[in-house]
């Protein structure tokens, strides 16, 4: 996604590999699909979390998924004589997705670190208990 985001940025500046509005629309379709895959993977990750953390993460996912679906709808809607309007709507929706992605990925990172620390403590306690039983 970070590459689908940089290409979009370059397009808005008139640079990069995306040369036509159709190139941009195709790239945004891919971006929306990747956003939905990410939301699905994060949902799987949320199943490993405790209730409060899980809820926090699911709230962010519930912001991302609709935006991805909306972007897909915009990219598939034919606007024959209004290409610039379509491109503008796509870029606006993508900007909103990027803001949510920043929050979501930051939250995932924090929760992953928290989960790892909790698992390490549990393993340490378990190892200590098993060593105490042997002495």
Q: Is the pLDDT of residue 135 over 60?
A: no
Torsion of CA 9, 13, 17, 23, to 10 degrees: 80
End-to-end Cα, the chain, rounded Å: 53
What global pTM score does this model have?
Answer: 0.79
* Stronger pLDDT, 26 or 11, i.e. the higher one: 26
Please give the mean pLDDT across all residues of the chain.
87
**Residue 90 and residue 24 in contact, taking contact as beta carbons nearer than 8 Å:** yes
Q: How long a stretch of residues is the chain?
A: 135
């Amino acid at each position: 996604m970070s590459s689908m985001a940089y290409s979009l940025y370059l397009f808005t500046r008139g640079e990069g590999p995306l040369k036509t509005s159709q190139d941009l629309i195709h790239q945004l379709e891919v971006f929306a699909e990747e956003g939905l895959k990410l939301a699905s993977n994060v949902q799987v990750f949320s199943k490993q979390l405790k209730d409060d953390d899980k809820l926090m993460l699911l709230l962010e996912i519930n912001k991302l998924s609709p935006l991805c679906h909306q972007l897909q709808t915009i990219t598939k809607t034919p606007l024959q004589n209004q290409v610039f309007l379509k491109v503008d709507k796509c870029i606006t929706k993508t900007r909103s997705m990027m803001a949510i992605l920043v929050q979501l990925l930051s939250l995932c990172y924090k929760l992953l670190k928290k989960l790892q620390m909790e698992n390490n403590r549990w393993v340490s306690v378990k190892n200590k208990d098993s060593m105490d039983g042997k002495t």
